[in-house]
Amino acid sequence: MKILVINCGSSSLKYQLIDMDTEAVLAKGLCERIGIAGSKLTHKVPGIEDFELETPMENHDVAVKLVFDALTDKDHGVVSSVDEINAIGHRVLHGGKEITQSTVVDQHVKDVIRSCFDLGPLHNPANLTGIEACEKIVPGKPNVAVFDTTFGMSLPEKAFYYAIPTEYYEKYGIRRYGFHGTSHTFVSGETIKFGHLDPEKAKVIVCHLGNGASISASIGGKGVDTSMGLTPLEGLIMGTRSGDIDPAVVQFLCNHEHITVDEALNVLNKKSGVLGMSGVSSDFRDVEKAAKEGNHMAAVALDAFRYRVAKYIGAYVAAMNGVDAITFTAGVGENDAYTRAFIVENYLGYLGAKIDPERNKVRGKAALISTDDSKVKIFMIPTNEELAIARDTLRLVQG
């Protein structure tokens, strides 16, 4: 079985073809600048030179056709015909209140994705475009939609309702959905497998710390809380997002800066986080460098980022009345050993959590990074959202 995973943005399309017998990536690539001058396909196959093609891509249909051409090409292709590809898994941002799990695409699923355009204005239209392009270019091939919001759909009412008039939930579906759901499901599941934890009862906290950052609590792999909300703005301090903030700040900014609500939200989404605090960069490596060179606000931004992660861990330990494992993942979580150690050493001593400095040096593969006598197991586990999408797709097409 070979599964193609597609992640469509408004002007981009990322793909991976995965052999599900070995879970190896056979090929992966990216179409950039779709619908804009200078479109380009980059196609990578392990062991051979990258194939690059600059050619006009006026829409996603053209991009999808180019991807299938690249995958079946006699020189840089990896399958002899499209028939060898069994199904396509699509990353979809928002499934609204109705969709609680990954699902085979039919007209109803497409209608739901469309009905959530206002909840995911940047992603859902592009995700639907990708699905429709595949339906046109390879008709009859099963398409599966894997939603970023499904992890959050198992949250109990006390965790997903906002304390605002209930009519807004009923009218508009305003609630906590959470994002990075595919990553939280995958990494919490891998934590249970890798750590030999109880698959029914294990209490796991996953810290997905990348440019976008979120944290989740799950019991037996089922989400009980997650830090992002109606949109990805809530929760942790991120590369450019403020995370939790008093909503009255929006009103204050609008009144004093003479900007609209949309402009104020743009400040909170794109100009805040460690970028806004430090004035240096949204990239954590740049902020760390600046802090080391004596930039005070860069140091404060990193301190605040780590403090917020620790506060959420504390909240989720309380929410679950305990914790068996805490796992770090994504760009910062996987690569920044200092941040992992800082959080555990400065804030988690009361849990009896202890980091092992040697084990914490790990790069690129799952590892236990706590000491043998640590009361909570701490892991670093690389996330792999494409593999998670491919596994769900396989499960659904095999029935």
Give me the active site residues, please. 148
Q: Quick one: tokens of 49?
A: 């030179």
Of the pair 336, 386, the CB lying nearest ligand ADP is at 336
CB of 30 or CB of 254, closer to ligand ADP: 30
Residue 211 as a binder of ligand ADP (CB under 6 A): the answer is yes
Question: Smallest distance from the beta carbon of 275 to ligand ADP, in angstroms?
Answer: 10
> Min. distance of Cβ 329 from ligand ADP in angstroms?
8
Which pair of tokens denotes residue 168? Answer: 């807004």
Alpha helices (H) along 279-364 = 284-292, 296-320, 330-335, 337-347
**Using rule CB under 6 A, residue 331 touches ligand ADP:** yes
178 binds ligand ADP (CB under 6 A): no
Residue 335 sits in the site that holds ligand ADP (CB under 6 A): yes
Among 41, 332, 368, 380, binds ligand ADP (CB under 6 A): 332
x/- letters, 289..328, toward ligand ADP (CB under 6 A): ----------------------------------------
Are 367 and 359 in contact by the 8 Å Cβ rule? The answer is: yes
Please identify, using beta-carbon distances, which residue of 131 and 207 lies nearer to ligand ADP: 207
From start to end of 151-235, where are the E strands? 203-209, 213-219, 222-226
Stretch that binds ligand ADP, among 114-122, 187-195, 206-214, 242-250 (CB under 6 A): 206-214
Parallel, antiparallel or unpaired: strands 40-44 and 24-32? antiparallel
Using the rule CB under 6 A, is 285 a contact of ligand ADP?
A: yes
Question: Is the C-alpha dihedral spanning 207, 213, 215, 216 positive or negative?
Answer: negative
Determine the Cα–Cα distance for residues 172 and 287; give it in Å rounded to an integer.
Answer: 38
Which of these segments, 51-59, 83-91, 111-119, 330-338, binds ligand ADP (CB under 6 A)?
330-338
Which residue number, 177 or 305, has a Cβ lying nearer to ligand ADP? Answer: 305
| β-pairing verdict for 51-54 and 13-19 | unpaired
Helix (H, G, I), strand (E, B) or coil at 82: helix
User: What is the C-alpha to C-alpha distance for residues 324 and 339, in angstroms, rounded to an integer?
Assistant: 20
Distance CA 241, CA 234 (A): 8
The verdict on 239 binding ligand ADP (CB under 6 A) reads: yes
Q: CA 197 → CA 112, 182, 190, 200, 220, distances in Å?
A: 36, 20, 10, 9, 9
Looking only at residues 24 through 83 of this chain, which bind ligand ADP when binding is defined by CB under 6 A? none
- Residue number, nearest CB to ligand ADP: 331
Of the candidate spans 95-103, 136-144, 150-158, 278-286, the one that interacts with ligand ADP by CB under 6 A turns out to be: 278-286
Residue pair 214/179 in contact (Cβ under 8 Å)? The answer is yes
Asked if 229 and 341 count as a contact pair (C-beta separation under 8 A), the reply is no
Residue 284 interacts with ligand ADP (CB under 6 A): yes or no: yes
Number of residues that bind ligand ADP (CB under 6 A): 13
Least separation in angstroms between CB 68 and ligand ADP: 26
Q: Which stretch binds ligand ADP (CB under 6 A): 17-25, 96-104, 249-257, 283-291?
A: 283-291
Q: Indicate which single residue of 26, 330, 344, 394 sits in contact with ligand ADP (rule: CB under 6 A).
A: 330
Q: How far apart are the first and last CA of the chain?
A: 14
Our CB check for ligand ADP shows the closer of 201 and 292 to be 292
Q: Pick from 77, 152, 189, 212 the residue near ligand ADP by CB under 6 A.
A: 212
Phi/psi region, residue 294 (left: phi>0; alpha: psi -120 to 50; beta: rest), is left
Least separation in angstroms between residue 243's CB and ligand ADP is 14
CA distance 90 to 130: 8
Residue number with CB closer to ligand ADP (178 or 212): 212
Residues 6+ apart with CB under 8 A from 239: 210, 211, 212, 213, 273, 274, 275, 282, 283, 284
Point out which span in 31-39, 89-97, 210-218, 316-324 binds ligand ADP (CB under 6 A).
210-218
Gyration radius of the chain over CA positions = 22
Chain position carrying tokens 């942790």: 236
Cα gap 385→387, rounded to integer Å: 5
Shortest spacing between CB 330 and ligand ADP, in angstroms: 4
Residues of the shown chain interacting with ligand ADP in the complex, contacts defined by CB under 6 A: 210-212, 239, 283-285, 288, 330-332, 335-336
